[in-house]
């Protein structure tokens, strides 16, 4: 039985955009879709407050919200098998638990109780930083969210441990029939930039190193997905700024995040963190194996 996509629902416009995106994704890959509303305060005060004030309980409100979301999916993608659940747990805990048996988690970029101007809701950030499965935070312009650009962007990390993100990006590009841009940012060391006599040769060397890393990282996936149109780009500049800038004409940007055993805090690198807050399209964060301290061995000869 196929594992489902899981989408967190709270009734906000952001979460409903995520539900629409998840419905399209489930239809694209032939996966079931599970809609989850987590309301941790219900077990403590919701029922008592409802009796005291004569208001519907949080559980009743949540039930109506997930049923509406399910109807929305049926109207949009009637072929998708949808299930719903209201869970009396903290939203982050509930979604992380669901992530252990999900193909991917889908969230919006704002919560129902989010502060105006907040770049990313706390639930989306915590889930993206700790989930055991890929997490997609749905954000960006209408064309990107609706897949109107025909382009997937992959931020290429080190070849060791980064294959999960590469495979995810190739599967998405193959299923959508769109182009895949694999980008690796590079920079010269500061001492080189200060010496004009070394600038040209050093720039060429570091650019060739970045291009080689892209080739190494994508080699296996290219063989597995020969129909995917791959474009590689070694781009000078800070990686986060390069990827944010190139996210505007994309339908999805894919990056990896290393998960370390026994580490309970947020496990996001600076690049993934920046994209979750600033990218102009949905962001997929794919958990990776721990990094190796061994440097790549197949860089260009100098």
Task: Identify the CATH number of the domain in which residue 189 sits.
Answer: 3.40.50.620
**What percent of the chain is modeled with pLDDT above 70?**
78
Q: Are 35 and 70 in contact (CB under 8 A)?
A: yes
Do 251 and 163 share a domain, yes or no?
A: yes
Q: Give the domain-ending residue among 94, 116, 138.
A: 138
Do 192 and 261 share a domain, yes or no?
A: yes
Do 60 and 129 share a domain, yes or no?
A: yes
Do 193 and 105 share a domain, yes or no?
A: no
- State residue 200's pLDDT score: 65
- CA 28 to CA 295: how far, in whole Å? 38
- CA 142 to CA 278: how far, in whole Å? 15
3-state secondary structure of 132: coil
5-8 and 33-38 as β-strands: parallel, antiparallel, unpaired?
Answer: parallel
The mean pLDDT value for 263-288 works out to: 85
Instruction: Decide which of 189 and 111 is more confident.
Output: 189
Query: Structure tokens of 183?
Result: 């980008």
Beta bridge partners of 153: 181, 253
pLDDT digits (tens, 9 = 90+) for 204-261: 888 999 999 999 999 999 999 999 999 999 999 999 999 999 999 999 999 998 766 5
Do 183 and 86 share a domain, yes or no?
A: no
- State residue 269's pLDDT score: 82
Q: What pTM value is reported for the model?
A: 0.85
The mean pLDDT value for 191-211 works out to: 73
Query: Domain residues for 131?
Result: 5-138
Among the listed ranges 102-111, 114-123, 191-200, which one has the minimum average pLDDT value? Answer: 114-123
pLDDT digits (tens, 9 = 90+) for 129-155: 999 999 999 999 899 999 999 999 999
pLDDT at 52 over 60: no
Do 82 and 195 share a domain, yes or no?
A: no
3-state secondary structure of 79: coil
> Does residue 82 lie within any of the structural domains?
yes
Do 206 and 162 share a domain, yes or no?
A: yes
Do 186 and 282 share a domain, yes or no?
A: yes
Do 160 and 262 share a domain, yes or no?
A: yes
> Does residue 64 lie within any of the structural domains?
yes
Do 134 and 148 share a domain, yes or no?
A: no
Do 150 and 97 share a domain, yes or no?
A: no
Confidence of residue 267 (pLDDT cuts 50, 70, 90): low
Q: Give the domain-ending residue among 89, 113, 138.
A: 138
Q: How far is CA 238 from the centre of its chain?
A: 20
Strands, sheet with 82-87, edge to edge from the N-terminal-most edge strand: 82-87, 33-38, 5-8, 104-108, 135-138, 283-288, 252-258, 151-155, 179-186, 230-236
Q: How many domains does the chain have?
A: 2
């Amino acid at each position: 039985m196929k594992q489902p996509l899981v989408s967190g629902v709270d009734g906000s416009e952001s979460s409903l955009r995520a539900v629409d995106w998840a419905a399209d994704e489930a239809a694209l890959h032939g996966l079931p879709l599970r809609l989850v509303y987590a309301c941790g305060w219900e077990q403590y005060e919701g029922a008592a407050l409802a009796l005291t004030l004569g208001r519907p309980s949080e559980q009743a409100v949540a039930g109506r919200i997930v049923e509406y979301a399910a109807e929305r999916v049926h109207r949009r993608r009637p072929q998708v098998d949808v299930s719903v659940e209201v869970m009396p747990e903290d939203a982050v805990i509930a979604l992380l638990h669901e992530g252990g048996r999900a193909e991917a988690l889908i969230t919006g970029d704002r919560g129902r109780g989010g502060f105006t101007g907040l770049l990313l809701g706390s639930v989306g950030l915590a889930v993206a930083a700790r989930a055991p499965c890929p997490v997609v935070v749905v954000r960006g312009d209408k064309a990107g969210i609706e897949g109107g650009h025909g382009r997937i962007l992959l931020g290429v990390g080190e070849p060791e441990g980064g294959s999960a993100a590469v495979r995810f990006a190739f599967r998405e590009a193959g299923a959508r029939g769109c182009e895949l841009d694999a980008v690796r940012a590079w920079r010269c060391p500061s001492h080189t930039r200060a010496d004009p006599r070394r600038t040209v040769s050093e720039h060429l060397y570091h650019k060739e190193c970045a291009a080689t890393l892209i080739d190494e990282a994508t080699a296996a996936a290219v063989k597995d997905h020969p129909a995917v149109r791959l474009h590689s780009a070694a781009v000078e500049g800070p990686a986060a700024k390069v990827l944010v800038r190139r996210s505007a004409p994309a339908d999805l940007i894919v990056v990896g995040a290393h998960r370390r055993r026994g580490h309970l805090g947020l496990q996001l690198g600076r690049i993934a963190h920046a994209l979750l807050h600033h990218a102009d399209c949905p962001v997929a964060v794919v958990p990776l194996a721990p990094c190796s301290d061994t440097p790549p061995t197949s860089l260009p000869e100098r």
